[in-house]
Amino acid sequence: MKIQLRDFLPSISKNLTKLPLLLIYGSNQFLVKAKCDEAIDIICGPSAKDEMRVTKFDENVLLKDPQNFFSQIKTIGFFPGKQVIIIENTTDKIKTAISSALEDWSKDDATIILIANSLKKNSAIRKLVEEHPNSLCLAIFDEQRDLEKIEEIVNSMNIKILDHQIISFLKNPKNFSSHDSFISLIEKIKAFKFQDANPLTFEEVESLLSNSADPSVFNMIDALSDGDIENTIVLLKRLYASGTNPNQIITLLNSHFALLHRISLNIANHELILNTTYPPIFGPRRKKIFKQVQKWSTYQIEKAIKIIQKVEEDLRSSPKIELNSALERACLRLVSILKSIY
């Protein structure tokens, strides 16, 4: 099944228990691999690599011994939790083996992640994943020739932009997966600032980039990450009142703490990690996230992630659970971790 970049994390979260295969391909390999890392965090949790629950397979090795590959999919690791098998530089040569793996896959088996460069429309492996009902296929492009027109487009918007960092961000093609994603953002900015004489801000751009979520969700997540439980609950109730889906809030919470965990493990390279996050995080919120990482220890973050994932598991196994109450209880427990009460 084909998915868009904006639907990447929500689609994985929604299909966790029945996701046998994920194909990520495109000419922008830097972003492709960044998306692979994000997928691993969602599927397995942030400690998967440390617990040796991520296995890399070379395509040529797979072709020589497909039975070993099939056995690895069924193998139960020493550490509990979901496992992932990654195959880089994927080509159509392994289509038959992947097809066989899909036919025999069950929910306790390892999820397969295929990474590839540009795949043509008639690619056998691409067609297999796109047509499989439970597998996900994400294309990431870097249309440099089209993006060279960005400066001309930005200058023609007739919108007051006083912050040069916003201009630099919009002109940098690495911040967009494709020309279409850039144009989509420009159109949103134009509509959002129609008849608005106030300068465009970082927060506005960020909320427009994250168009799948109410911007207030991020305010709530920031309040929680800062240990402000009163404001967290107030913002949470506002989100309920506005009709925001609690499942979406849980997914974004999971992604946020997975990001905090990645940064906490490599604090010296926090700027690089934030630069590879999509939607990009910049301006004041970059500083907020860095301050949050400094407030939480790696151990506390890992405890928080386990709580969030437990809520997700409970909701999947017991759909009748009252979503709002479950989420509020989880938020109280998360803040209690930070305050060392729990």
Residue 152: band (very low, low, confident or very high) from pLDDT cuts 50, 70, 90: low
Got the DSSP string for 229-296? HHHHHHHHHHHHHTT--HHHHHHHHHHHHHHHHHHHHTGGGHHHHHHT-SS---THHHHHHHHHHHHS
- The one-character DSSP state at 58 is -
Task: Choose from 2-11, 63-72, 197-206 the range with maximum mean pLDDT.
Answer: 63-72
pTM tops 0.95? no
- Average confidence (pLDDT) over 173-192: 66
Residue 140: band (very low, low, confident or very high) from pLDDT cuts 50, 70, 90: confident
Give the residue ranges of DSSP H helices in the chain: 8-14, 29-44, 59-64, 66-74, 95-103, 124-131, 144-147, 150-155, 164-171, 179-192, 202-209, 215-225, 229-241, 246-265, 270-275, 284-295, 298-317, 323-338
Q: Which residues pair with 137 in a beta bridge?
A: 2, 23
Residue partners of 77: CB distance under 8 A and separation at least 6: 51, 52, 53, 83
Task: Choose from 29-43, 123-137, 159-173 the range with maximum mean pLDDT.
Answer: 123-137
- Give the Cβ contact number of residue 196 at 10 Å: 11
pLDDT in tens, 212-225: 445 578 888 999 99
Contact 250, 310 (CB under 8 A): no
Proportion of the chain above pLDDT 70, given as a percent: 80
pLDDT in tens, 262-293: 888 888 877 777 766 655 566 677 888 889 99
* Average of per-residue pLDDT values in the chain: 80
Higher pLDDT, 165 or 39: 39
- Average confidence (pLDDT) over 19-30: 86
Proportion of the chain above pLDDT 90, given as a percent: 22
Predicted confidence (pLDDT) at residue 320 exceeds the cutoff of 60: no
Residue partners of 25: CB distance under 8 A and separation at least 6: 32, 90, 114, 115, 116, 117, 118, 119, 126, 137, 138, 139, 140
Q: Which residues pair with 3 in a beta bridge?
A: 138
Residue 210: band (very low, low, confident or very high) from pLDDT cuts 50, 70, 90: low
Residue 151: band (very low, low, confident or very high) from pLDDT cuts 50, 70, 90: low
- Average confidence (pLDDT) over 27-34: 76
* pLDDT at res. 148: 45
CA distances from 186 to 7, 133, 175, 248, 308 (A): 19, 33, 13, 25, 34
The owner of tokens 């590959």 is 69
